Amino acid sequence: MPRPTVRDPSDLSTPVARTTVTSFRIIDAMAGRTSVGVSELADELSIQKGTVHKHLSTLERVGYVVKTGRKYRLSVGFLELGASVRARMTLYNVAHGPLKKLSEATEKTASIMIREGNWGVYLTRVVSEEHTQTELFEGERVPLPATAGGKAILAYLSADDRKAVFDEFVPSEYTENTISDRDALDAELQAVRDNRLAHDRGEYDSDRHCIAAPITDRDDDPVGAVTISGPAEQMREESSQYDFSSIVASTATSIQNKVLQ
């Protein structure tokens, strides 16, 4: 599935530190790989080998890249940074207990999604023992308009913030179920706001369905969303056995009350 990438400095509309952007383009290209060589990165990013090597050597020296033989990988130093940031977030600290109960009650993967920039990020996930396989990880960035958690957040954004998200969203990169019509998506987001429930019916991953409920602050601005997800066919079959919507909504309310305390 497509993931957001750091763009070439020449494609950015605002002034930037080009060397910093280049470093992060290299870091971004290394994500998801066991290891990679200088030539492969240079070819993929259209950057000179000498430049790639200099950036990798610098990143290795400061502890964020590990060199093994002639190849490089990202270090777990990035995990330390993310974990440190997350540990200081109220939403993360109050969500784990309710999220674990939600996963156990539904036998589905339960998650908290937050918005960072124009993307959704999985802040934390509790994977059901019944479904240990998942392609998405904590920290993964996903498109807001193609996910249930993202829609739950989008429904409470201002018109300007929502437009910024839509301007960056490319529906054709995902599945045939992804909503591509802006008016249809606006209508669905209004329904999400009215009902405080959102659905993703194979719009990001055609084989998975998700249900989400928003977490909002006292001004009704979005703080995040609670989601459950599972195999599409199983979610359809079990919808009559489990009242997924009510359980998700109740969990979101519980977490929201803790955030507002």
Q: Which of 75, 95, 112 is the last residue of a domain?
A: 75
- 125-139, 198-212, 238-252: least confident range: 125-139
Same domain, 25 and 40: yes
Q: What's the number of domains the chain is made of?
A: 2
Question: Can you give the pLDDT at residue 32?
Answer: 84
Distances (CA, A) of 240 to 111, 190, 196, 236, 244: 22, 25, 20, 8, 9
Distance separating alpha carbons of residues 170 and 131, to the nearest angstrom: 29
Q: Is residue 125 assigned to a domain? A: yes
Same domain, 233 and 193: yes
Q: Is residue 97 assigned to a domain? A: yes
Q: What ranges in the chain are assigned the alpha helix state H?
A: 18-30, 38-45, 49-61, 77-87, 90-106, 148-154, 159-168, 182-195, 232-238, 244-260
Question: Can you give the pLDDT at residue 241?
Answer: 79
**Listed residue (127, 97, 133, 120) closest to 203, CA to CA:** 120
**Tokens of residue 173, six digits:** 């990169």
Q: Is residue 2 assigned to a domain? A: no
Place of tokens 């498109």: 143
Q: Is residue 3 assigned to a domain? A: no
What is the CB neighbour count within 10 angstroms for residue 228? 30
5 versus 40: the higher-pLDDT residue is: 40
Q: Is residue 1 assigned to a domain? A: no
Same domain, 27 and 121: no
Same domain, 64 and 154: no
Question: Can you give the pLDDT at residue 235?
Answer: 92
Same domain, 38 and 89: no
Same domain, 18 and 94: no
Same domain, 136 and 39: no
Q: Is residue 202 assigned to a domain? A: yes
The tens digit of pLDDT for each residue in 119-157 reads 999 999 998 766 555 567 899 999 999 999 999 999 999
Question: Can you give the pLDDT at residue 242?
Answer: 83
Same domain, 132 and 160: yes
Q: What is the CATH number of the domain that holds 97?
A: 3.30.450.40
Q: Which of 21, 42, 75 is the last residue of a domain?
A: 75
Same domain, 38 and 110: no
Residue 74 phi/psi, 5-degree rounding, is -70, 145
Same domain, 48 and 92: no
Q: Is residue 188 assigned to a domain? A: yes
The tens digit of pLDDT for each residue in 46-92 reads 999 999 999 999 999 999 999 999 999 999 999 999 999 999 999 99
Q: Which of 24, 57, 75 is the last residue of a domain?
A: 75
Same domain, 209 and 103: yes
Q: Is residue 237 assigned to a domain? A: yes
Same domain, 142 and 176: yes
Range of the domain at 151: 81-260
Q: What is the CATH number of the domain that holds 65?
A: 1.10.10.10
